[in-house]
Structure 1
Amino acid sequence: MRILNICAYTWAIGGPARIIYDHTTEVLKQGHQVDILSPMTPGEKMYPAPEGSRLIPCKRTTPISNFYREFSIEMYDFLKKNIQNYDIIHMHGIWHFGSLAPFLIPHNAALVITIHGLLDKWAVAHSKWKKDIVTALYQKRILGKADLIQINNTDEEEDVIRYLGYRPANMVIVPNGMKVSEYINLPEKGIFRKKHGISSEQQMILFMGRLNIKKGLDLLLPAFKEVYEKLPNAVLILAGPDDGYQSETEEFIRKNNLGERVKLVGMLTDTIKKEALSDADLFVLPSYSEGFSIAVLEAMTSRVPSLVSDRVGFGDYIKKYDAAYLTPLNSNGVAAGLLKILQDKKYADELKNRAFKMVTDNFDITVVANQLLEEYKKIKKM
């Protein structure tokens, strides 16, 4: 099959780029062709493309793209000239031009849309006026016209049904996956701590994600302040790029004199990210909304006990396996969970062991990639 993924394939976008990377790696092994079409702003850092695939960057067209995400005449022109060369057009996300453009051009490819959590109640309420406009113009109609809507879990199933007002026949649950083998053998402990002046006696809490309000930083920061007052050896690492909430984070740190205890280290990738996971005592993501958090899976595969909300994209699996401390979405609840994990080693060990089993049972990329390929085959038209 000839497959085209459409996504803002940059480091800043986070999980979706990693999901495409891992899935593409597996698909290429089976002899399929994969291209990645990515609208981008000059200066953005592109995510690496797997060897054997082709990455096609297209400049966003400003100032329109400042209001209508990913609008790119260059991308549209590429599709117009090349869309007939593909069997599958896989669009990642909604609300943006990349998920509309393939519907505007005649072709025989099968169209796939992955929701990536963007119909969650919290996500829909964010910039609601823009989404209301897009909904009125086309969004509901094109979801109904897609050959396949990929969702990751039953929560997303409910989100789609609520949005459309019916359950579309073209919707299927296929979870995202990750390369479990990459996180089995982590770097030696102590490397990350040494780089950032964290002693072996300190309890290191790791947050990995964009610095965005939806990640629950407004809950985590006051929760950590409460934890630090009771456990003065605790330190919080915030690893991720600014996505609208860094200035508020820095202001909270200043006001509460936490400069020595809360460290902003920017986005961590590859070996450095694994060094951080190797040294972490606890991983935290009290998110209001996630499509499917690869960061949580990475932590769980690395055997780091985790505190998360049930909105990370696979809350049903977490509940089934009792794989993490599921926090209510308030700072007191987050603080209670952090203290429980940091003060109860037996509980923390049980959490991380159950979480590892959950990931290996359900989310290894070799299994998940084949599930999605089978769905592609069912809808392929040529």
Structure 2
Amino acid sequence: MSRCLAMHGIETSILTLDLGLTPDRLRGLGEVEVTALPCLLKRFYIPRFSPARIRELVRQADIIHLMNHWTLINAIVYTYMRRLGKPYVVCPAGSLIPYGRSQLLKRIYDALIGRAILRNASGHIAVIGSETPQFVPYGVSQEDVVVIPNGVFLDDVESTDPEAFRGRFGLGDEPLILFLGRLNSIKGPDLLLEAFIRIATRFPEYHLLFAGPDNGMLPMLTRRTIEVDLESRVHYLGYVDAQTKYDCLRSADLVVIPSRHEAMSIVVLEAGMVARPVLLTDQCGLDEIDSIGGGKVVAPTVEGLEQGLIELLSDPSNLGPMGETMKRYTLENYAWDAIGPKYIDLYSRILGSKQEP
């Protein structure tokens, strides 16, 4: 989003933690100025910061865009925005529903400052329409929430050589099922592994590739892979850069997004950009993929993913046309060229209303 705004001539800066800021990602931001705070405690994303520096960043901004919800950075920035009278918008991106660990801490956060952040915002953004009811418990009417989806840059698709990629990682010529993302419970890699185990005998030619950094699940996943004697067919690649990510996507016959909870999956759109069909759960925010014929949407369970795999792999001749459908759908609906102006319009309306007598 920031890169898109900068491309439209808007001076844009990012305040974030120094986690995952690879040279690849920084290069991808183009002219956007990035202030990365050192993370003192990864478990709770606690930053080390200079109050004077935060205050100055807030003072320089005309409008501020808060992403996510339960973060200390948002709370810190909010206190300075209120003092300086700065307008701001909030885009929780699906994070308003407490999920996973630390639910007590999240309730405390909401009671102390989280509800105020939502209630006092000048604008509220949902990335999909089904997210708008999540604002209501915070005192925000659904009618006051603007839906602006995530997007993709068409020129981000790196030129790739799937054959060389397969050779480099010893993947051979076998058909490939791809999981792309963090090995984290919320992303559901364990669900996919169990579903693959169930269909492995029925589809002995298929391999499963996990590409993405470990968030604590890798030992369990590899242990389970060894238990069922599938080490030769289940591969763990670890973190991948942008080039390797698109090598993975172009090498895949099917991309699976088995998330337990996610507002809107970018991986679905990235698969679409390279014409790959997808199997995703109904927690990914893109249920229409099923109706347009770009893949299949299932429940976020082992059984749901198992049945989805069986249906899609039983007739592999359909995978190519599904991928082409995904590409058309992605380009028509989720290119940043079309989405960026929606943000600019929202910001302009908010700033215009602040200037009215």
Do they fold alike, i.e. is TM over 0.5? yes
CA positional deviation for 1:281 = 0.5
Q: Secondary structure at the match of 2:272?
A: helix
Residue equivalent to 2:223: 251
Cα contact 2:15–2:35 (8 A) shared by 1: yes
Cα contact 1:71–1:96 (8 A) shared by 2: no
Cα contact 1:90–1:113 (8 A) shared by 2: yes
Change (3 A) 1:54 1:166: closer
Do structure 1's residue 70 and structure 2's residue 42 form an aligned pair? no
The one-character-per-residue Cα deviations of 1:323-342 (angstroms, maximum 9, x if unpaired) are 32111222122122112222
CA positional deviation for 1:85 = 0.9
Change (3 A) 1:168 1:127: same
- Provide the TM-score with structure 1 as the length reference: 0.85
CA positional deviation for 1:30 = 2.2
% identical equivalent positions = 24
Cα contact 2:191–2:258 (8 A) shared by 1: yes
Q: Secondary structure at the match of 2:171?
A: coil
CA positional deviation for 1:260 = 1.0
Matches of 2:167 and 2:102, distance apart in 1: 41
The one-character-per-residue Cα deviations of 1:248-286 (angstroms, maximum 9, x if unpaired) are 111111211121111110122222111111111110011
Cα contact 2:88–2:123 (8 A) shared by 1: yes
Change (3 A) 1:229 1:361: same
5+ residue gaps, structure 2: none
Do structure 1's residue 359 and structure 2's residue 330 form an aligned pair? yes
Residue equivalent to 1:124: 99
Matches of 2:144 and 2:346, distance apart in 1: 10
CA positional deviation for 1:170 = 4.1
Residue equivalent to 1:5: none
Residue equivalent to 1:313: 285
Matches of 2:217 and 2:21, distance apart in 1: 19
Do structure 1's residue 375 and structure 2's residue 346 form an aligned pair? yes
Matches of 2:163 and 2:16, distance apart in 1: 37
Residue equivalent to 1:35: 13
Cα contact 2:298–2:308 (8 A) shared by 1: yes
Change (3 A) 1:114 1:166: closer
CA positional deviation for 1:134 = 0.9
The one-character-per-residue Cα deviations of 1:170-211 (angstroms, maximum 9, x if unpaired) are 42100010012433x7423312211122222x1101100100
Cα contact 1:281–1:304 (8 A) shared by 2: yes
Provide the aligned C-alpha RMSD in A. 2.2
Do structure 1's residue 199 and structure 2's residue 162 form an aligned pair? no
Residue equivalent to 2:57: 82
Question: Aligned match of 1:211 in 162, 178, 183?
Answer: 183
Question: Aligned match of 1:264 in 223, 236, 242?
Answer: 236
CA positional deviation for 1:165 = 5.6
Question: Aligned match of 1:341 in 312, 326, 329?
Answer: 312
Question: Aligned match of 1:323 in 287, 294, 297?
Answer: 294
Residue equivalent to 2:74: 99
CA positional deviation for 1:166 = 5.0
Residue equivalent to 2:113: 138
Matches of 1:364 and 1:31, distance apart in 2: 18
Question: Aligned match of 2:206 in 201, 212, 234?
Answer: 234
Change (3 A) 1:109 1:169: farther
Question: Aligned match of 1:59 in 34, 38, 43?
Answer: 38
Matches of 1:257 and 1:360, distance apart in 2: 41
Q: Secondary structure at the match of 1:73?
A: coil
Change (3 A) 1:44 1:354: closer
Question: Aligned match of 1:156 in 118, 122, 131?
Answer: 131
Question: Aligned match of 2:162 in 189, 204, 208?
Answer: 189
The one-character-per-residue Cα deviations of 1:29-81 (angstroms, maximum 9, x if unpaired) are 2221111112236x974631523221112223x4xx4564334333x432223
Q: Secondary structure at the match of 1:109?
A: coil
- Provide the TM-score with structure 2 as the length reference: 0.90
Amino acid at match of 1:281: D
Cα contact 1:286–1:329 (8 A) shared by 2: yes
Q: Secondary structure at the match of 2:215?
A: coil
